[in-house]
Amino acid sequence: MLRLFSRSAPSVKAAVCARPTYTILNQRNMATNHAETAQFDRSKLFDVSHVTAVVTGGATGIGLMITQALVANGAKVYITGRRQEALDNAVKTYNTGSGRVVALPGDVSSKSDVQRLASELAQKEPNGIQLLVNNAGIARDDETKFSANDGPPDLKDPSAVSKYFLASKPENWDETFRTNVTGIYFTSMAFLPLLAKGGSSVPDYSSSVVNVSSISGCMKGSSAGQFAYAASKAAATHVGRMLASMFVECGVRVNTIAPGVFPSEMTTGSSDDRNKSQLSSKASNPAGRYGTESDMAATILFLASRGGTFYNEQIMYPDGGNTLVQPAAK
């Protein structure tokens, strides 16, 4: 037994001596693997704590959903709007979490007001901003909207169709386009220098504009009688494409969100004391439900974070599959 042990001793010694080497190599491999996978950490991919944003129409509806998502994850968000009461209520109610909400009253349908907003913000944020969300939008089709007029006219009767839709007012078209389309153009142009400066101040990142359009803009139908609204959203989507092309050399990206139906003052007609709206009807899309706050939050966090920096001139459709089953879509 002693002889057997003595013969085995060198092997035992070698094994014992090899353990530290194996442990060191294993630790090195683990460190290498961790370094290689660190880039996939969701807290880094979708971090927006470095973001200073402007959200037009950010006090209600989809704009408020976007504001909440950004603020909850550490961003500083300036919200613009024409109604001081709505802005103040949003700041009071949702200025929680690691981010911050700041009211910036203004009217995006006014070129001079947009330029004033950009000038004021340049004083407040000398290092620029990283995100502009052109969300403010209106609908002014009450004269022809089916739900406001006991349904559509007899679509087989040319005279009935003509009479029904001639009730539309040119001034309503003007107002709709001034906010939904012209507002996007002038706001984006006015804030471009701030966006370019903000993007260059953050490593491995580029600033972006996110325009909120609608699936109404890609469907061939009248959006239940809302010709002006649907046409304005089609125009908004295309303006986004042109802006993306124009801003390439400035290092600023432009993407578009074209949502399906989400609860908002536009879709429900009202909001509560927390600036929230509720939909009571049943959704007809494949998902069987309307869009939620978390659906919109996921979309904006992706586009605003480093995870979305490889995306430019893209259109996102958070619509529950609505465009999938609409034969007249796209």
> Which one of 229, 276, 305, 317 is the catalytic residue?
229
Would you state the structure tokens that stand for residue 295, as one six-digit string? Answer: 């659906």
Q: Are strands 131-134 and 52-56 parallel, antiparallel or unpaired?
A: parallel
> CA 142, CA 302: separation in Å to the nearest integer?
35
Active site residue 229: yes
Give residues with Cβ within 8 angstroms of 106, minimum separation 6.
Answer: 80, 81, 82, 113, 114, 116, 117
Active site residue 201: no
> Which one of 214, 216, 232, 271 is the catalytic residue?
214
Backbone angles phi, psi at 102, to 5 degrees: -130, 130
CB atoms within 10 A of CB 264: 22
> Which one of 185, 208, 223, 233 is the catalytic residue?
233
> CA 46, CA 68: separation in Å to the nearest integer?
15
Give the CA count within 13 Å in the CB-facing half-sphere of 288: 0
Residue whose pair of structure tokens reads 């603020």 in the numeric block: 71
Catalytic residue ranges: 214, 229, 233
